[in-house]
Structure 1
Amino acid sequence: MSNLKGTSVVITGGARGLGRAMTLALTGAGANVLVVDIDNAQIGEIYRESGGATKGICADVTTERGINEIVQKCLNVFGHIDVIVNNAGISLSTIRPGDRYANPIRFYELTRADVSRFVDLHMIAPFLLSCAAVNHMLEQGWGRIVTVTTGLDTMTRSGQAPYGPSKAGSEAFTAVIARDLEGSGVTANVLIPGGAADTRFIPLLPDRTREHLVSPSVMGPPIVWLSSKESDGITARRFMANRWDPTLPPSEAAERAGAEIAWTA
């Protein structure tokens, strides 16, 4: 595994689910990690789980004030900002708890407020954090922007609005960021679990048990590699974590698990 000693990482939604798995992998590799979440109790829990290796901040990533507080805290406690992981998200269960699979949400049932919440968290928040962090990265000539999106089929599947479209927008934005930063030493990539992940967002159904879900732990090896100097020059790619083979050399695992970001004509 890559050695991330001295690398400073900000991860949004870093205390639970996929974020928790990535946080523990990053601290396990020696990174300094600032966990951003909206739940102070969960921030305290990941601090204990990591053996006291994390710092935490409770902040609203959809506001410029919240983003500025996050970046300033990272600079204050670590001295620099090297990696941001845009992971904070919400699921369709926040609109229709319980029965959204038996009774899928149709786009015409959504309110403007519903759509705005998803766009704000999945698109605007990564944009704001990327903007706030990138100048620090450019000054040092090195940095990483990693955004967690979803499967391409989920982005356009019936019943997936506004979750799917907001994640599609986030991936397209990441593609533009990657191309705007080409040659700067700062890269931008997408990481997804590669299927429905075993988190609180995914309810169990009669034909689906936890064994059918992707373990959040698969996010660990690819996020560590993406946060390291070993991934220098790799940008505008999407990586499926469940296709990452940790028994292979990381460069080979990345080749097998990666594809071009977003869509091809």
Structure 2
Amino acid sequence: MSGSLVIVGLGPGSSDLLTPAAARALKAATDLVGYGPYLDRIPAASVNQRRHASGNRVEIERAGHALKLAAEGNKVAVVSGGDPGVFAMAAAVFEAIEAGDPAWRELDIRIEPGITAMLAAAAEVGAPLGADFCAISLSDNLKSWQTIERRLRAAAEGDFVIALYNPASRARPHQLGRAFDLLREAKSPESIVLFVRSAATPEARVVTTVLAEADAALADMRTLVIIGAAATRLISRGARRPWVYTPRAEQEVVR
């Protein structure tokens, strides 16, 4: 097949954090496919470049449309916020390939990575991901809440730093509060909690608190929530926001 498909990570929002490789892939594409607000972030490359915008929650349909365009000989770029391999479009494309036209498996397909929200949020505050960490999405659109609870308990038991994606939305206003209640059963009330909204943009906002006082109402879909491990600590800086980091070496447990 003469067509190709590249899955491009746009990063967390700032054009400065779009990789040069991703920018080249976007410019070279004959067709851009993606969620409308993400396509709006991309400057026009040429008058001949076509855009195929779609709404939220139609990832498999979007992926299938992109694959059909590529099979017709077009150079297609599927755009995704952050990194396309982290709760994003790369998995959707491969799901569509596995279940779809066998000819799609012969397409030239590649992924251009991007900076995911977890990394952008961590950079705003210091180095909270300096030791072992995990990422959990609180969205139960594609998995049960029981599965989310099981994974939260396991992460707390393992004393990972936990990055929470999709912490809240209008359809799911209570789930972050439920997650905090569960974590309070297993973690110290003094565990550091970070709410980082719109990381790596001029509108970035950080709230630093502890698990006992964490208010789920501070989060929306543009917020990444990080819950520290037992070793995660603050470096105070007077009136300025403290740095937050997790030491690389395992800390001795004080009994």
* Interval of TM-score (by shorter of Structure 1 and Structure 2): 0.3 to 0.5
Flag the structure with larger Rg: 2
Structure ranking higher in helix proportion: 1
Structure ranking higher in strand proportion: 2
- TM score, norm. by length of structure 2: 0.34
